[in-house]
Amino acid sequence: MPNAVIEDWDQFNAFLATQPLCKWLAQKQHELATGKHVELGRGAVHPPPKDDNAELAAALSSMA
């Protein structure tokens, strides 16, 4: 089974690096390393969703 053995690891690693999932993973690892994502518990911290109703109510009350 000579075809089952990887003869050139550098070529194999270069091939893997061009695959979409590997590119995505490398990008996410870079973002985590540079601090673009802050992990707390189960997931990244996201800002609270914008409350359009509160802004609308504030605008209407200021008109009255």
- List pLDDT tens digits, range 3-55: 668 888 899 888 888 888 888 888 888 888 887 765 544 555 566 677 778 87
53 closest CA partner among 45, 61, 63: 61
> 22 CB contacts (<8 Å, ≥6 apart)?
16
Contact 38, 44 (CB under 8 A): yes
Helix axes 9-17, 20-33, angle to 10 degrees: 80
Rounded Cα distance, 52 and 57, in Å:
9
Higher pLDDT, 1 or 47: 47
Largest Cα separation within the chain, whole Å, is 83
pLDDT given at position 1: 46
